[in-house]
Structure 1
Amino acid sequence: MKNSSFLLVLVLSILHLPSQPSSATRTTLRRGDSLSVDNQDDILISKSGVFSAGFFSVGNNAYCFAIWFSHPPCSGQNCTVVWMANRDEPVNGRYSKLSLKTNGNLVLTDASHAVVWATDTASLSGSKTPVHQLQLLDSGNLVLRDREGIVLLWQSFDYPTDVLLPEQNLTRNTPLVSSRSNGNFSSGYYKLYFDNDNVLRLLFNGPLISSVYWPDPSHVSWEVGRTTYNDSRVAVLDSLGNFTSSDDLKFLTSDFGKKTQRMLKVDHDGNVRVYSREKDEKWVVTWQGISDSCAVHGICGPNSVCRYSPSEGRSCSCPPGYAWKNDTDWTQGCAPKFESFCNNNSDSHVDFLRLSHHDFYGYDKGYRPNTTLASCKKKCADLCDCKGFEYKFNEDSGSFDCFPKILLLNGHFALSLLGSIYLKLPKANLSSYQIPTEGFNPLPCAPKAQEVILQRTYLKSHASSTLEILLIFASVLAGVEIVVVFLTWSFLTRTDPNRRGGYAKGYHLAARGFTRFTYAELKKATSNFSKEIGRGSGGIVYKGVLPDHGEVAVKWLNEVNQGEDEFLAEVRTIGDLNHMNLIAMWGYCAEGKHRLLVYEFMDHGSLAENLSSDQLDWTKRYEIAVGSAKGLTYLHEECLEWVLHCDVKPHNILLDSNYQPKVADFGLSKILKREGLKNSSFSRIRGTRGYMAPEWVYNMPITSKVDVYSYGIVLLELVTGRSPSGGLANTEGGDENESKRLTSWVRERKRTEVPTETWIKEIVDPRLTGEYDIRKIEVLVAVALQCVQEDRDARPTMSQVVEMLLRLESEDL
């Protein structure tokens, strides 16, 4: 009995001890676990082994937590890093850890236990969605998921450094920032970002000045094929080498179509490139944004000139009268070898040296059109801060223009440059200055690479011996814990056959994410498709239970005549859609002629089912109206692909446990690239009678306004409780004129001479028993009647609908 008691106390003590880091690689990091910098093998690997995440050496006793390509195998600085958590604040090479705390935060601590970097996920991981594990996906995305593996609480894709991986979105909030140099991983001076005018640009953001240099700032956006009218600000590179941006920047890599490793990177030289790599081969450039690298601002530093040769590359040189600040670092630029000109009678002791085919972009001290060369020299000589001027013939006016320069930045030499730079120099020794030649100027290498040593000293505690004893004791107890857990698991496996292989097949969504199921697996999960929970023109929906006891909705699609590749392409697009008011797809099946989609299960079914009950009070109905509009707005305007729902109706608006709406059945309706917006075509009429816009009947061009029309009918149904046919809700519409019956009925009662309270009382759903907000109903009806206009151009967009409804909410606050 005493032995049993002792064993019980021992086991309980073990269970309360923190877990020790494993010395072997792992695929997940669970709550309470950590990765240590002291163990070079303590890393996360993705399922297929393509990516690794762990501590990466960036200098002498300096480490960053990073993600890198590990397949093909690499070591040390040969690894291609794609993400860093703490690129600007490395941690010490001993005692530093990355820990997944029990409160849900992912925390990187230095040897002094100071927090260097952390995710703010503790507030997101409440009792309903506790953080379950950290996992590195085969896409290169490091993710924190909830216990069920469904909710994504944090992902590295939302916080990129200098690399964009395939299927990773570049958005207004996720710019790419270059590294400082080839061996310095800290943040550099070049940024790829969406500007306030919605255009994707490259910016030089130096220590003293900043300037945009791509696309060519001397042209307006539409002259270089960009648009400012799409404010979604999102871009993505797919795995085949197709890049698409919301500002109309599109390109295909030179190896487009090959399934290979790819990455888009903002390099430390200021250029943006796509790199591709076949198995076990080196990276090759398959696209770059700037062909002449001298067009990159700041690349040669101030007071210097850049030359580019396709055969020899880029070189930098100092103009006459200037010398390098550091002859091993071009980016520091050149300094004048003469004193300032800021004194009286400056024009008597200065002169100008002409440099043909030169330009220093920007920083003009005014602009003097139709000016003589003598006048331009006089102007620059009188300005003590004038460093020189550009003198260029203007073909439009037929005269010469003068551009005095107060700074000599972004110097560029090219035979294609027609203007000349007149460099301001002391007259006394002007004849000694030589005009630079066109030869290539190689950058001399430094005699020895300089290392920045982190100044960190950690005093050894006097209690270190006691600590070592405790650590040894803890290690012994951890070993006992492993044995106990292993024996317990073996016993449970033998006694419960349902546990065998249950997790081996990987149905944990946290571990697998978007899953491809076999037909046999879904047949088993749905008990041979026995429990039908919904049906429509697109197919029948069944309730299923996955082996991890997760409830799902399985939709068996009808009349899918696509080939598997086309089906998978569309499924992939749908799987990437992510919005709180859209149903989440967990997986699919494409086997033979079987096409099935696996969705999250919604506890309260469809809006159509609930309209006929007493569960939807006015507050819930209004939230359903707003949430549904937000979901449709995302489909129409915010995701990279353009998705038409084509069948908006109460049956396709599902309600979760809190009666929050999720638009469903938008899959495989109509998915277009954004360039196809004006040329959309449909092989057949889509939708449900009673909710269909007139465009379908009269064979007019189909746009997103067909969804707006259907949404308007749904709004009227929410307010009145009547279906388009005029009867009680929860019935399918009859013919195409039924929507007109409902709208005409509402318009007839909403007459100007009738008091608002009177007509609202006539049309409002009697199930609300007088508990409603008259002003909100008035607005909902007004919005709905705008949405169901016969003229599609008179209908608002879904984003305008959301704006109108949210404006009403804000007025109530």
Structure 2
Amino acid sequence: MAAPFLVRHHKNSIFFFFFLSYLLFSVHGLKGGSSLSVENDDDVLVSANGLFTAGFHQVGENAYCFAVWFTDQPTTGGPTVVWMANRDAPVNGKYSKLILFEDGNLALTDAEQYITWSTHTKSTSSNSLQLQLHDTGNLILFEGQQSLWQSFDYPTDTLLPGQALTMNTQLVSSRSCTNYASGFYKLFFDDYDSILRLHYEGPVSSSVFWPDPRFLPREVGRYQYVYNRRASLSSDGGFKSSDGLEFFSADYGIGPQRMMKIDIDGNLRVYSFIEHQTRKEWQVQWQAVSRSCRVHGICGPNSLCTYSQDAGRRCICLHGYKMVNFEDWSYGCAPEFEGCSPDNEGFIKLTQAEFYGYDIRYHPNYTLDSCKKDCLDDCTCKGFQFSYDCHKGIYYCYMKNSLYNGYQMGFYNTMYIKLPKMLVLSFHQKTINDQNVSCVGQAVTPMIRSYEKKHHNKLLNSMAVLGCVIGFIEIIGIVFFWYKSSKHSITIDQCYFPAATAFRKFTYSELKKASRNFSEEIGHGGTGVVYKGILSDNRVAAIKKLKNTNHQGEDEFQTEINTIGRLNHMNLIETWGYCAEGKHRLIVYEYMENGSLAGNLRLGKLNWETRFEIAKGTAKGLAYLHEECLEWVLHCDVKPHNILLDSNYNPKVADFGLSKLFDRDRKGKSNFSTVRGTRGYMAPEWVFNLPITSKVDVFSYGVVILEMITGRSPTGKEQKSDENGDTEPALIDWVRDRINGNGMESWIQEIVNTSMSEEYDQITMENLVNIALQCAEEDRKVRPTMKQVVNMLQHPENYR
């Protein structure tokens, strides 16, 4: 393998100078007795293929680390650092050096001339010593042909393709966006059972959170007590670990540069470097934890992690607690009250909340009052989890002595927090959702290195000869550098990118067994049939088996997989995995106990309050698709059959088999080769061959809302046609005719389905009908966006 070059470092013209250096200088690395200076921008090493650069990287005010980074940079953000020698002890920006001593030791010396980092290697021949940066990004110290030391054996927070993670190595996150020092999260092989795990080691607590500690290793496909502990990421995006963990990135195959990184938020992600026509960026192709609030320690003790489409992930102190460190959420919150007084204490109720771990007792078959009494009698009890075991048919409670790892994410547990009665009386459930508190990722104090000692200038001793050569290079290169720089602007470093939902790859035999040979059909559509199944970890799943196994079916499968791999929202169906084996194409979803909205409307089971909450939840899910996820997504087939309801009738938008992703730079316009959707719910744009935008989903949503209100199907016999075809469902005209032909007192009663009786609020109902009609306007330009729909539903007083 060819050795790297010492070259002039420029952000956007490194390859140009790399080429000139090749012409003017001999091929060499850093040899014994030589050094690189922090003050000299020329002192960098570049791999022979030009992909990686090594040199001094600024990590704070007058603070530098010796690092390796990708030469090519994203359009928005600085260099992507993959390794650091001295992340916890940065050197000064004056007179610091990387020195390869003749005795074989590679070391960093600070401005005071003391060693802050070294390899502790020894050599018997200084003439054969050489430090090289290889094409893989591995920095290797050679003595002749023998390797004395390599950076791959001492990773920081990144694993490169071909780099092994072993029993002796680990990945450790950075502290924050602005502080590269070792953080609180690490990826390592557990010494006890050889399982690859993610671990949180914070200032006040520590715990393992991945794989999910609620399941045994074998239930998540891991093998314990394996002798050879080793994991690696391949260049095509495949990952294999000795404990049985295996996955493939969403863009699996030969192509872009990739890396695996443990980010500052504790999540493990695989990134690919994507080059678009107008920008370059690192995109998430896999992540370990699909729900970000389930990363332990993310908000610290006595706090709750919440997620919403508008605010993303947020940390909130529990009622009666206050934030400890306003610059760092990892320290959590502290109580604003003192002491323990059972006669003067009560409980506040947090719905759909859980605090994982720190249980002091478990009480099966307990009533709520019994749980409360037990906690009140114990001063160490801070609260308890109260839930129902549907398999055993009993209620139970977990008593907590600490409130760590709290999150609120739309499941069925209820948490009771013990507080003085005065604080209980001042608590309102909506407070949890109304607080406006910044989330994790706030910048902690950046690294700063000061230097006050008087210096002796030694930098000009050997510059005269090189000055002419470098000046010549600069004259030739300045035009090229200006041209390249004018095309790209560099902004602040990006910490991590929004994540794609994680998948597990199932085998066909696993899913065949889980579904009892696909015996229980629970739904079907144009792209496939859905069966009920029970996975090996006892989770009830919906298994969709695509009908077509030809080229078209493969395209639909890839569309659905690539789409749902980028989505994470409480009102979107959660996907657990997939199967691509031979001609078989299957997708595994969470099972929705109450089926589809269509089925519930047929049975007339839904009351007014439930229908209104379904309208809001569906709007939030579509707004996330259109504006909040990694790329904009059009669903293209919004209808009651594709809105599923969980056990609490919370809606989740499903079935993205007809979806379309498109870049934000295309300003919301997309081209489709075929008409997509279901008759009756399709916008007029499809018929008149107009540009397709997110407004097609808005139209469909409006039709769905009118169907929920009236009970009339837009695809029934009342469907009308004109000379151009089905341009608008008769349902919309029917509602407008009733409004225009009746007084304000009577039109609501005339259009509302009789199954809702008179339980609805008339003002709210009028507002919902008006919103639905605005969404179903024939002119797409006057339809609101889904984000505006959410605002109109949540704050109707602003739109009257």
TM bucket by the smaller chain?
0.5 to 0.7
Q: Residues 472 and 419 (structure 1 numbering): CA distance in 2 closer, same or farther, change over 3 Å?
A: closer
Q: Residues 310 and 28 (structure 1 numbering): CA distance in 2 closer, same or farther, change over 3 Å?
A: farther
Q: Please state if 1:387 is matched with 2:386.
A: no
* Corresponding residue for residue 798 of structure 1: none
* Corresponding residue for residue 144 of structure 1: 141
Partner residue of 1:217 out of 199, 210, 213: 213
* Corresponding residue for residue 31 of structure 1: 32
Q: Please state if 1:252 is matched with 2:252.
A: no
Q: Deviations over 1:164-211 (max 9, x none)?
A: 000110111111000111221111101111112111110011122210
Q: Residues 387 and 157 (structure 1 numbering): CA distance in 2 closer, same or farther, change over 3 Å?
A: same
* Corresponding residue for residue 459 of structure 1: 453
Q: Please state if 1:303 is matched with 2:299.
A: no
* Corresponding residue for residue 126 of structure 1: 124
Does structure 1 retain, via aligned residues, the 8 Å contact 2:178–2:446? no
Q: Residues 455 and 251 (structure 1 numbering): CA distance in 2 closer, same or farther, change over 3 Å?
A: closer
Q: Residues 455 and 71 (structure 1 numbering): CA distance in 2 closer, same or farther, change over 3 Å?
A: closer
Does structure 1 retain, via aligned residues, the 8 Å contact 2:7–2:44? no
Give the partner amino acid of 1:357: Q
* Corresponding residue for residue 58 of structure 1: 59
* Corresponding residue for residue 314 of structure 2: 315
Q: Take 1:243 and 1:446, find their aligned partners in 2: how far apart are those partners?
A: 28
* Corresponding residue for residue 293 of structure 1: 292
* Corresponding residue for residue 80 of structure 1: 80
Q: How does 1:635-714 map to 2 (within 5 A)?
A: none
Q: Take 2:381 and 2:295, find their aligned partners in 1: how far apart are those partners?
A: 24
Q: Residues 312 and 440 (structure 1 numbering): CA distance in 2 closer, same or farther, change over 3 Å?
A: farther
Q: Residues 429 and 64 (structure 1 numbering): CA distance in 2 closer, same or farther, change over 3 Å?
A: closer
Q: Take 2:135 and 2:91, find their aligned partners in 1: how far apart are those partners?
A: 27
* Corresponding residue for residue 587 of structure 2: none
How many Å apart are 1:412 and its aligned residue? 1.2
Instruction: Report SS of the residue matched to 1:48.
Output: coil
Instruction: Report SS of the residue matched to 2:219.
Output: helix
Q: Take 1:425 and 1:86, find their aligned partners in 2: how far apart are those partners?
A: 46
Compute the TM-score of the two structures, normalised by the length of structure 1.
0.51
Does structure 2 retain, via aligned residues, the 8 Å contact 1:328–1:445? no
Does structure 2 retain, via aligned residues, the 8 Å contact 1:370–1:400? yes
How many Å apart are 1:348 and its aligned residue? 0.6
* Corresponding residue for residue 519 of structure 2: none
Give the partner amino acid of 1:33: S
* Corresponding residue for residue 369 of structure 2: 374
Does structure 2 retain, via aligned residues, the 8 Å contact 1:131–1:144? no
Does structure 2 retain, via aligned residues, the 8 Å contact 1:312–1:440? no
* Corresponding residue for residue 106 of structure 1: 106
Give the partner amino acid of 2:102: T
* Corresponding residue for residue 413 of structure 2: 419
* Corresponding residue for residue 231 of structure 2: 235
Q: Residues 226 and 187 (structure 1 numbering): CA distance in 2 closer, same or farther, change over 3 Å?
A: same
Does structure 2 retain, via aligned residues, the 8 Å contact 1:357–1:413? yes
Q: Deviations over 1:398-434 (max 9, x none)?
A: 3222221111000011222x22111101113422111
Q: How does 1:220-619 map to 2 (within 5 A)?
A: 220-279=216-275, 281-309=280-308, 313-327=312-326, 329-341=328-340, 346-416=341-411, 418-436=412-430, 439=433, 443-444=437-438, 452=446, 454=448, 456-460=450-454, 464=456
Q: Take 2:439 and 2:387, find their aligned partners in 1: how far apart are those partners?
A: 37
Q: Take 1:396 and 1:307, find their aligned partners in 2: how far apart are those partners?
A: 28
How many Å apart are 1:331 and its aligned residue? 2.7
Q: Take 1:269 and 1:202, find their aligned partners in 2: how far apart are those partners?
A: 12
Q: Residues 420 and 296 (structure 1 numbering): CA distance in 2 closer, same or farther, change over 3 Å?
A: same
Q: Take 1:311 and 1:258, find their aligned partners in 2: how far apart are those partners?
A: 36
Does structure 2 retain, via aligned residues, the 8 Å contact 1:241–1:253? yes
* Corresponding residue for residue 542 of structure 1: none
Q: Deviations over 1:538-573 (max 9, x none)?
A: xxxxxxxxxxxxxxxxxxxxxxxxxxxxxxxxxxxx
Structure 1 gap ranges (5+): 1-20, 483-813
Q: Deviations over 1:314-361 (max 9, x none)?
A: 1221222223334554333222222232xxxx2211011121211110
Give the partner amino acid of 2:185: Y
Percent sequence identity over aligned pairs: 49
Instruction: Report SS of the residue matched to 1:365.
Output: strand
Larger displacement relative to structure 2 (361-370 or 98-107): 361-370
Instruction: Report SS of the residue matched to 2:91.
Output: coil
Give the partner amino acid of 1:144: L
Does structure 2 retain, via aligned residues, the 8 Å contact 1:300–1:410? yes
Instruction: Report SS of the residue matched to 2:342.
Output: helix
Q: Take 1:245 and 1:447, find their aligned partners in 2: how far apart are those partners?
A: 30
Q: Take 2:370 and 2:184, find their aligned partners in 1: how far apart are those partners?
A: 38
Q: Deviations over 1:280-324 (max 9, x none)?
A: 621111111111001100011111111224675312212222233
Give the partner amino acid of 2:323: W
How many Å apart are 1:450 and its aligned residue? 7.0
Q: Residues 455 and 35 (structure 1 numbering): CA distance in 2 closer, same or farther, change over 3 Å?
A: closer
How many Å apart are 1:394 and its aligned residue? 2.9
Q: Deviations over 1:210-236 (max 9, x none)?
A: 100001001000101111142211111
Q: Take 2:128 and 2:386, find their aligned partners in 1: how far apart are those partners?
A: 64
Q: Deviations over 1:74-132 (max 9, x none)?
A: 89x6110000000011100000000111011100010001111000211xx235x9752
Q: Residues 74 and 314 (structure 1 numbering): CA distance in 2 closer, same or farther, change over 3 Å?
A: closer
* Corresponding residue for residue 91 of structure 1: 91
Structure 2 gap ranges (5+): 1-5, 10-17, 22-27, 470-800
Q: Take 2:320 and 2:152, find their aligned partners in 1: how far apart are those partners?
A: 48
Q: Take 1:420 and 1:168, find their aligned partners in 2: how far apart are those partners?
A: 44
Does structure 2 retain, via aligned residues, the 8 Å contact 1:60–1:451? no
Give the partner amino acid of 1:133: Q
Does structure 2 retain, via aligned residues, the 8 Å contact 1:60–1:453? yes
Q: Residues 72 and 316 (structure 1 numbering): CA distance in 2 closer, same or farther, change over 3 Å?
A: closer
Q: Take 1:428 and 1:442, find their aligned partners in 2: how far apart are those partners?
A: 23
Compute the TM-score of the two structures, normalised by the length of structure 2.
0.52
How many Å apart are 1:374 and its aligned residue? 2.4
Instruction: Report SS of the residue matched to 2:399.
Output: strand
Q: Deviations over 1:251-294 (max 9, x none)?
A: 11111113211000000001110000134621111111111001
Give the partner amino acid of 2:214: S
Q: Take 1:78 and 1:70, find their aligned partners in 2: how far apart are those partners?
A: 10
How many residues end up aligned between the 2 structures? 443
Q: Residues 408 and 429 (structure 1 numbering): CA distance in 2 closer, same or farther, change over 3 Å?
A: closer
Instruction: Report SS of the residue matched to 1:185.
Output: coil
Q: Residues 288 and 41 (structure 1 numbering): CA distance in 2 closer, same or farther, change over 3 Å?
A: same
Q: Take 1:405 and 1:215, find their aligned partners in 2: how far apart are those partners?
A: 23
* Corresponding residue for residue 629 of structure 1: none
Q: Take 1:367 and 1:107, find their aligned partners in 2: how far apart are those partners?
A: 55
How many Å apart are 1:452 and its aligned residue? 4.6
Give the partner amino acid of 2:420: P
Q: Take 2:373 and 2:75, find their aligned partners in 1: how far apart are those partners?
A: 62
* Corresponding residue for residue 16 of structure 1: none
Q: Please state if 1:207 is matched with 2:208.
A: no
Instruction: Report SS of the residue matched to 1:378.
Output: helix
Does structure 2 retain, via aligned residues, the 8 Å contact 1:265–1:272? yes
Q: Residues 319 and 252 (structure 1 numbering): CA distance in 2 closer, same or farther, change over 3 Å?
A: same
How many Å apart are 1:57 and its aligned residue? 0.5
Give the partner amino acid of 1:98: L
Q: Please state if 1:198 is matched with 2:171.
A: no
Identify the structure with bigger relative contact order (alpha carbons < 8 Å, sequence gap 6+): 2
Does structure 1 retain, via aligned residues, the 8 Å contact 2:176–2:183? yes
